[in-house]
Amino acid sequence: MDALMELLKVFVTGGLICVIGQILLDTTNLTAPRILVIYVVAGGLLTALGWYQPIVDFGGSGATVPLTGFGYTLVKGALEGLKKEGILGVITGGLKSSAAGISVALVFGYIIALIFNPKAKD
């Protein structure tokens, strides 16, 4: 029962975060890339205020998989860096904590882009 409850929490948290994005898409002139940026920045700021950690504790992957989670990782990294190495940690911490995601997205993405061709839509 607990496991099922956990899945439900992940589903609902992730779903709700996406619904906010959908409402932004449908009611404003914002395009998807702008919404991604808004999400990362919002995730970062919420983390700084200490409001995102409870969402992560509740929703698990439901809160870390959406891009707000990317902002969360970046800011968390910078804050941890600050604790360990002071101001240098702020400079390196963000990229350090998100290094895997960014590296893979760019390098694997590069490989994919070199292999595949875009298809015309019909």
Partner 1 sequence: MKFQKYANSFKDRPKYVSNCIKAFVAGGIICLIGHFIKDGFLSIGMNQETAGTWATVVLVCTAQLLTGFGVYDILGKLGGAGCSVPITGFANSVVAPAMEYKREGPVLGVGSKIFSLAGPVILLGLATSWAVGLIKWVLQIIF
Partner 2 sequence: MGVKEGKGPQARWFDKILQDDYYGEKTFEKAESKLLKNSITMAIEKAGLKKQTIDVMLTGDLLNQLMSSSYMARDVSIPYLGLYGACSTMTESILLASVLVDGGFCTHTVAGASSHFATAERQFRMPLEHGNQRPPQAQWTATAAGAVTISQSLGRTDKPLCCITHGTVGRVVDPGITDTNFMGAAMAPAAFDTIRAHLTDTGRKSSDYDLILTGDLGRVGKKILLDLALKKSSQDEKDESVFRHFRKVYEDCGAIMYEDCQDTHAGGSGCGCSASIFAGRIVKEMRAGKYKRVLLVSTGALISTISKQQGETVPGIAHAVTVEVM
Residue 117 DSSP SS3: coil
Residue 50 DSSP SS3: coil
Would you count residue 119 as binding partner 2 (CB under 8 A)? yes
Would you count residue 111 as binding partner 2 (CB under 8 A)? no
Say if CB 70 and CB 98 are below 8 A apart. Answer: yes
φ and ψ of 59, to 5 deg: -95, -10
Would you count residue 118 as binding partner 2 (CB under 8 A)? yes
Q: How far is the CB of 117 from partner 2 (least distance, A)?
A: 8
**Would you state the structure tokens that stand for residue 60, as one six-digit string?**
């698990």
Q: Which amino acid is at 21?
A: G
Q: Which of 1, 84, 117, 122 binds partner 1 (CB under 8 A)?
A: 117
Q: How far is the CB of 82 from partner 2 (least distance, A)?
A: 36
Any idea what the Cα angle at residue 78 is, between residues 72 and 81, rounded to 5°? 135
Would you count residue 2 as binding partner 1 (CB under 8 A)? no
Q: Computed from CA positions of residues 85, 90, 92, 94, in that sequence, does the dihedral angle turn out positive or negative?
A: positive
Would you count residue 1 as binding partner 2 (CB under 8 A)? no
Q: Out of partner 2, partner 1, none, which partner does residue 2 contact, by CB within 5 to 8 A per kind?
A: none
Would you count residue 52 as binding partner 1 (CB under 8 A)? no
**Would you state the structure tokens that stand for residue 52, as one six-digit string?**
């995102």
Query: 4-63: which residues touch partner 2 (CB under 8 A)?
Result: 25-26, 29, 31-32
Q: Out of partner 2, partner 1, none, which partner does residue 105 contact, by CB within 5 to 8 A per kind?
A: partner 1
